[in-house]
Structure 1
């Protein structure tokens, strides 16, 4: 005889899958699901649920800063421990530019980049190209070229900008572009050294913003000059 199985009797793996998919849509819905029954509460404690939890950046910021949000900070810590890439990315950005350990921030950012988080790859490429040594610049340029070829630069900049937006009243470490930070070193390159002027023309001449793709540098044949343009843009994302 067929006996229907109630939701509470579903296997733990099925509940974990349900909890994981719910967390990927809304943490608030996950909280409601976990209160529905013991099986859902137990499934919600699995690492994979925290790993894929989707937390709006404003919630992450509020939970981490408000002294009244200990539960939120505990949730973020568990997400970090479980390898949640979005939480790792925000934490790395905070360490790199707001405080904490810059070395730890770069290491965390590289962990996200190694797991194909495109905004982390973008940030790593910019930070490497801002260094003075050739090896770092070359590594950063290679990553930049991959993101550019994939058409991923615009979304990377939008994600990065969303994370830093409105948080810089306490910023301690602004990135800067100096002459020694520029990537293009060819004296025969016709566009070398002109990226600042092109950026100002695009940004202030016609009201360019992040949603306009590459902002006007895509037609420049020199990949090193395009990288220099993106470095200038990266620095001005903090304005």
Structure 2
């Protein structure tokens, strides 16, 4: 009998030696950390997913993609239309991330030339709370459409934004995007 208790004790010691310290925190904690990682660096999120099964599960959930904040300038996504950034942006938009829906609409409308899809996404982002998406949508309706009804819809959207007191912040936001695009173009076309 003494030998059997030793056997059991060894088994416990062996399992404790192989237990991961990552398992000490519940998955919910890792799921709270992963959106912060994603917001800081898309590459870091991919690295986190590649680390282990615990991180893969936590960093691949819809919650991560819905809560990730797009800190990179909008212009950054223009230079990564086919890379992991694009797939990241699409996944975020699929699960309802308002920042990503706005950026996806911007990218679809301008560099990809998918005007209908871009406008649909911008209108959706505006409906879900992105005033910047509404501002862009209104500008496009007023200046890039010939249908009088669409132009009037753009004027009404712009008036709603003006009344809300957010017109100036939208103007500053798009002024910043213009500067980011100029910097990006200079970097892309700089000599050798």
Same fold (TM over 0.5): yes
Distance across 1 between alignment mates of 2:112 and 2:76: 20
Given candidates 72, 90, 102, the residue that maps to 1:77 is 90
Asked if 2 retains the 8 angstrom alpha-carbon contact of 1:23 and 1:52, the reply is: no
- Deviation string for 1:55-87 (max 9, x for gaps)? 51354233226xxxx433432332232333333
TM-score (norm 1): 0.54
Question: Which of 134, 138, 147 matches 1:121?
Answer: 134
**Which has the greater radius of gyration?**
2
Indicate conservation of the 8 Å contact 2:89/2:104, yes or no. Answer: no
Moved beyond 6 Å, runs of 4+: none
User: Residues 71 and 25 from structure 1, CA distance in 2 versus in 1: closer, same or farther, beyond 3 angstroms?
Assistant: closer
Consecutive unaligned residues of structure 1, counting only runs of 5 or more, are 1-5, 170-239
Q: Quote how far apart the aligned CAs of 1:15 are.
A: 2.0
Cα offset, 1:90, TM superposition: 2.8
- After superposition, give the CA deviation of every residue in 1:17-56 in whole Å (9 maximum; x if it has no partner): 2212333344355455545643222110011212232251
Which residue pairs with 1:141 in the alignment? 155
My pick for the range that moved more, 26-35 or 138-147, is 26-35
How many residues are treated as equivalent by the alignment? 161
Deviation at 1:148, TM superposition (A): 1.5
Contact 2:38 2:44 in 1 (8 A): yes
Q: What TM-score do you get using the length of structure 2 for normalisation?
A: 0.65
Indicate the residue corresponding to 1:103 in structure 2.
116
- Larger mean CA deviation between 24-33 and 105-114 belongs to 24-33
RMSD: 3.1
CA separation in 2, counterparts of 1:8 and 1:49?
19
Q: Answer 1 or 2: which has greater helix percent.
A: 2
